[in-house]
Amino acid sequence: MVPYISDVLFNEPQGWPSSLVQFGASFSFLCIFVYAWSVGDAGEVPWVLFFIVGTALSGIAESLPKTRRRAAGLLRLTAILVLVCFLAIMFLVPEYIIG
C-alpha cells in the first residue's frame, strides 16, 4: 500500500480546473471567517482557519507546473497534516471547535 500512497501523493499536479475549485473553497471559507470577524463572532469559528489553509495549500499544489511533482507532493502532504491536526483537535479538545 505504501507505493500506491506515494504514487497518488507525488502524482503530477492536475492543473487549473482542480486548483480553481480548491481556491474557490478556500475563498468561501475565508469569506465565512471575515463575515464572522466583522460581526464580532470570530472567536466562535477559529476552526475555519484550518480549512482555509488546507484548501489553499492543496490549490497551490495543483496549480504548479507538471515538472514540480515533489513540491506538489509536499504541499499536498502539508495540507493533509493541517486537516488531520483539525481532526485531532476536534477529538482531543472539542470545546475549541464547538465553543
* pLDDT tens, residue order, the chain (99 aa): 556 777 777 777 888 888 999 999 999 999 999 998 888 876 778 889 999 999 999 999 989 888 888 888 899 999 999 999 999 998 998 887 776
Total domains in the fold of the chain:
1
Instruction: Please enumerate in sequence order all residues whose Cβ is within 8 A of that of 89, keeping only pairs 6 or more positions apart, or say none.
Output: 47, 96, 97
Is the separation of the CB atoms in 90 and 97 below 8 Å? yes
d(CA 43, CA 40): 8
Is the separation of the CB atoms in 54 and 83 below 8 Å? yes
Which residues span the domain enclosing 38?
Answer: 2-98
Residue in the block written with cell 466583522:
38
